Structure 1
């Protein structure tokens, strides 16, 4: 137990020891990771309409990026480990439903050279997302997925190589998993790092590892967890810490940061800056007004019934949810924020969440209502000063697919 507590102390202490913070990349496109290969090669993971791809950039080049052709052997590609400082990269490729693998690449003479291929265990994943981290010795594979017996949405699992095949993934338990989604696992020495989604935000956590078993997870302090933001894809080496922070205001914005001194190879080093706490609209305290009793002559003999407001026939805004997800993505939240800023104070809305035809009837109805409730809570949290009047509804649609996983906003005239 003493060793676990001590390791957690190291996790927290090494992130705040007077290191410089540098903005590496900034984009409206969804950034799903950043890795530093060698001294000055950045690999940036971006989600696009056609899949997920790796781009290269040199340190100091914050705008120019090109797709790394050699590393994009599938329509889903991600850096999942390797000895990055030595130029060795493990890349996950998925080209079809059952066509997935991890490939080792080495950065040699200015190009990525393909090496050994490593199999991936077959997973019955109920989540749209999959996160992997393969340790440098290639014997332990940490997995973020929604498999049987999950604590909530995506959980963290461990599969171990026995020389011939991967073991059945083992849930890492309540020490690290919760009823929220855990994702983006990363391991360094005896510490496991990951992100946990909390409503519309996400924060980076760390847990000590002892013989593959994690201690109690703690949220990291300092610059890596910007408040009210989406913080994820944490990576740490002996000299550097990297992560991605996303925000949704007028448009989604993703920023990759590096904590630590830039290598000498980065000639055009970016300007260092501190992460400031974002401006958040404060929800005003609701003050109850004392009603004045009417004069006796004004009392109506028959009590009137308050009619439920009629909503517009068609939605003014349609937001789409990912598979098995209650909360909206940053890009959808940005569209919601733009829409709400245009509405007059006191506007009334009916928010209607939908679930598609996958799953049990009770679960589908619950998800539809949770999607509407999630949007309502976002409005109350960030637009409370505009005093919007909000009601929610939920409905299960028989069809399946993205078109049926949505949340609609109807204006109340």
Structure 2
């Protein structure tokens, strides 16, 4: 079967588009991956009867827009954009002309024109799927692949391959934190976060997971309605200095690239929030305990590393606790430990927090302080520290409202870099 790059033709569900979305490009023809370069130059992939080709949309001085097929970029019968450099002046393109003629070509954008600067062969893939999805990192060293390579967890999974010694390493499955029995595709990485789409029935939703050292570092979570329009097909999420974008298919022969005007992922209101999914993987944080786990089995004394005083809140006392990134207990509260970019609790962490909160007297006063370490861009660090504090506050207010706890929140971005600064502190105030 001829391999094609992912398109969104097979989804024809009717849906509604969320607020604060501006259609950048609308089309009655099937569109796949896209990218936004300098000066708002939009490149997108369009499926046609004889293959897949890259088109551009360029803004003119009079405000009009000109669309054209980019002949230089379309050296294959199947072509699609799969990445760009940090400056947005070089684009990476997948091109296929035959079964063994698959390359990644590099093109420099200069004065509005594309000039080829080099190419690499695609890694050897024994793909059992009719589809193939690719994303190449800005430094050209990490290739993310959506395919079915034999060790799939269901249908198409996400894999990673590294450019080492002038060749690609064998693609490695990214594991169960991302891959399920559903179809995962359209990978993209920004700010140490992996974004991807997951098809579920006739819908597709965009998820994110912390991604460090080319490894998934936490459970994938579905993005909110700011990104995922209900009852429709959402895919190819992109995030950068130019904003956030995605492709959506809302009806037959109705495809659009949307710009998400409101960056809801970087903004948090200070008033009480209500998050049904404050715990990763749980739609009901109030019913976390499984039938096989008793409260006695998760007592704080058995599963946390004890600090001697609040002053050593940043130090884990055992290697096991450091590996699990769970909870440290202080004399006057808890410290929640997170992996890079993680903002949601795991089930075990929530159980330990529940035990602590149940022992508090009604009307107690708590302070919650969210921390980020110094790794990454400033907006991402600020967002992570806010979300860690606000999600804990929302969880407590939602599940322990009867205790009438008084809660204040604060955030800190540390200059130091390290796992033990990626925390949230919960303290009782006497």
Partner of 1:237: 240
| 8 Å CA contact retained: 2:58, 2:65 | no
Partner of 2:270: none
Measure the CA separation in 1 of the matches of 2:110 and 2:212.
Answer: 35
Partner of 1:224: 227
Partner of 2:253: 252
| 8 Å CA contact retained: 1:139, 1:161 | yes
Q: CA deviation at 1:51?
A: 1.0
SS in 2 for 1:236: strand
SS in 1 for 2:164: coil
Q: 1:242 to 1:85 in 2, by over 3 A?
A: farther
Q: 1:112 to 1:128 in 2, by over 3 A?
A: same
Q: CA deviation at 1:49?
A: 1.4
2:53 pairs with 1:53: yes
Q: CA deviation at 1:222?
A: 3.0
2:91 pairs with 1:89: yes
Q: 1:45 to 1:130 in 2, by over 3 A?
A: same
Partner of 1:343: none
Measure the CA separation in 2 of the matches of 1:211 and 1:85.
Answer: 22
Measure the CA separation in 2 of the matches of 1:163 and 1:260.
Answer: 42
Alignment of 1:5-404 (within 5 A): 21-59=21-59, 64-83=66-85, 85-214=87-216, 215-248=218-251, 251-260=252-261
What is the TM-score with the length of structure 2 in the denominator?
A: 0.54
RMSD: 1.9
List structure 1 segments (4+ residues) > 4 angstroms apart after TM superposition.
59-64
Measure the CA separation in 1 of the matches of 2:80 and 2:196.
Answer: 16
SS in 1 for 2:39: coil
RCO higher in structure (CA 8 A, sep ≥6):
1
Measure the CA separation in 2 of the matches of 1:48 and 1:63.
Answer: 22
Q: CA deviation at 1:252?
A: 2.7
Q: What runs of 5+ residues in structure 2 fail to find an aligned partner?
A: 1-18, 263-430
Q: CA deviation at 1:242?
A: 1.2
How many residues matched? Answer: 241
Q: What runs of 5+ residues in structure 1 fail to find an aligned partner?
A: 1-18, 262-413
1:326-348 Cα offsets, whole Å, 9 max, x none, are: xxxxxxxxxxxxxxxxxxxxxxx
| 8 Å CA contact retained: 2:83, 2:93 | yes
| 8 Å CA contact retained: 1:36, 1:85 | no
Partner of 2:317: none
Measure the CA separation in 2 of the matches of 1:57 and 1:231.
Answer: 21
| 8 Å CA contact retained: 2:245, 2:260 | yes
Measure the CA separation in 1 of the matches of 2:212 and 2:152.
Answer: 22
Measure the CA separation in 2 of the matches of 1:141 and 1:134.
Answer: 5
| 8 Å CA contact retained: 1:37, 1:84 | no
Q: CA deviation at 1:59?
A: 4.4
Q: CA deviation at 1:73?
A: 0.6
Q: CA deviation at 1:62?
A: 8.5
